[in-house]
Amino acid sequence: MNFHELLEKYKSNTATPEEIRMVEEELEKYESITEYYTDQMGENLNLDLLSETEESEIKNVKKHVNRKLRRNIFISILSILVLSAAVILIINQNYYDPNSGIPTDEYGFGQFMMDTMAFTEVHSPGYATNTAEAVRDGLGSYQIQIRQNHYFTGKESVFSGKIIRGEFLDSGNSLINFWHFPSANCFAFKEGTLVWQEASGVEYRQQPQDDIQYQADALKDLPKSSQVEAYFTFEKNLTLEEFNKLYLKWYGDEDHQLDITYAAVWTGTHRGATVGFQPGGGGNVYESVKEVEKNYPYLSLVDHNEELDKDPVGIWQTHFESLLSYLTDRQEFLQAMANVNNIGPWFYRDIQAYIKENGMRIYGILAQGSADQVLSFLEQENIDGFNVADVKLSILSH
């Protein structure tokens, strides 16, 4: 049996173990010879000096060697790709993935949007999240874009940035633009984070009455068609029952109807961040929220109008406590997106403990309506802080 016949048996997997050993030894020998001549002489190997049998065997061996080399190269490349994919998977699993959890549906709703919706409602008076997406663009790296709607103007603000290995990279587009902090206004006075000092050295730890009067007088000069967004704080913190009476009073008055878009919850002083909720329950309906609400009841007030009408006090309290519990469980999101004030799970746990011990109270609101409606509220309610946030000349203004 010549080598050619042995080789055919080897290729057809019919060779004995001894024949396999003989063929592979010959192949290794011919491979070494081929590599040597390739290196030394390139394509100048003179096959004319060989016998027909030797020439035929060398050609067959070269074909086999070439196939083997191509197979080895393919296996090597495939191994590198598999290894690279495994490394990427391991790295991505070890760092914060904004999309891990609630699957993203056809409308773009998923874990990152749920996190952003909850955070925006708690910390950003007058705003709601429209969309939030995180697109992976590298190892543990995600390009994010968040669109938030401003209730008063109807305008959409777009915030974009990058999260790399669990940290937000601030490239001039500060996270403050995502938070929409209330400005240094009556909320900050009430919370104890703002002290106003005159040139004379006199300090105010409560908004001066002449500042309140100045803004009220300015509203009186506006056209009747003007619309106003304003912050108010109360002389005495309201229980949820008292707040509900106030809410129904102004919401149900056709002549002086005021839209309360945010209720600020009292959590003690000097916590460094406003917290509250949207009592009206505005927003979009997402099926995934219903699954989340099994663990966090009434996390979203959307689609719960009937329950709100029957028991607003109980629903508001459950809603706010669920928001706190939910954010407590979103440590990685907070680490990436709340590093302006270093807020973490501890922040919400402290508030939960405070509310459990002292009850849930409302110390201020953000509301919108006509200039006359805002002035009526200022005159009729026991207000100790007032700041105009925005004004537009007509309800049709954009």
pLDDT in tens, the chain (398 residues): 666 676 677 667 777 877 777 766 776 666 666 565 555 544 444 545 555 665 666 566 566 656 666 666 667 666 655 555 555 555 556 789 999 999 888 778 999 999 999 999 999 999 999 999 999 998 899 999 999 999 999 999 999 999 999 999 866 657 778 888 887 899 999 998 888 777 787 787 889 999 999 999 999 999 999 999 999 999 999 999 999 999 999 987 776 789 999 999 999 877 778 999 999 976 666 777 888 999 999 999 988 889 999 999 999 999 999 999 999 999 999 999 987 778 999 999 999 999 999 999 999 999 999 999 999 999 999 999 999 999 999 877 77
CA distance 353 to 139: 39
Proportion of the chain in helix, strand, coil states, percent, rounded to 5? 45, 20, 35
**Under a CB-based contact definition with an 8 Å cutoff, are residues 96 and 163 in contact?**
yes
**Under a CB-based contact definition with an 8 Å cutoff, are residues 173 and 180 in contact?**
no
> Measuring CA to CA, how many Å separate 144 from each of 159, 179, 181, 247, 395?
8, 15, 20, 37, 33
Residue 118: CB atoms within 10 A of its CB come to: 22
CA-derived radius of gyration, the chain? 35
Residue 47 confidence (pLDDT): 47
CA distance 316 to 322: 10
The structure's pTM equals 0.77
Residue 203 confidence (pLDDT): 82
CA distance 48 to 63: 18
> What is the tally of helices (H) and strands (E) in the chain?
14, 11
CA distance 319 to 133: 24
Residue 301 confidence (pLDDT): 92
Residue 298 confidence (pLDDT): 95
The answer for residues whose C-beta is within 8 angstroms of residue 229's C-beta and 6 or more apart is: 126, 152, 366, 367, 368, 388, 389, 390, 391
**Under a CB-based contact definition with an 8 Å cutoff, are residues 293 and 118 in contact?**
no
Residue 339 confidence (pLDDT): 79
